[in-house]
A = this chain, B = another copy of it.
Amino acid sequence: MKKNDIKPRKLIFDKEGLQLLAKRLKEIRAEKGLSQEELAYRSEITLSQIARIETVKINPTVSTIFKIARALEVPLSDLFNFELPPFSNE
């Protein structure tokens, strides 16, 4: 067994898709006239987390998005109302 046989576990961070989701989130939040802080309060998610999502710093979990959708009072299909780009793993 060679020493430098590091197996590259390729994890997932779908930047393209996450950017679109972030955009959609910002749009809806603006429509509703909510600040990140207000949304954070209503969704019971931290402000930092909202910001991290909108700036595409993280790859949020589905449950997090669920809470946000509820707080925004929009159906999930609204938040996910965009077309996924074909996929490029960078």
User: How many chain-A residues does the 8 Å CB contact rule pick out?
Assistant: 29
A45 to B11, CA, bound (A): 10
Count identical subunits in the complex: 2
Q: Which chain A residues (9-49) contact chain B, with CB distance < 8 Å?
A: 12-14, 17-18, 21, 45
**In the complex, chain B residues whose CB is within 8 Å of the CB of A80:** 76-77, 79-80
> Which residues of A are at the interface with B, using a C-beta cutoff of 8 A?
12-14, 17-18, 21, 45, 59-67, 69-70, 75-77, 79-84, 86-87
Can you list 12 A-B pairs, Cβ within 8 angstroms, ordered by A? A12-B64, A14-B63, A21-B62, A59-B63, A61-B61, A62-B65, A67-B87, A70-B84, A75-B84, A76-B84, A77-B81, A80-B80
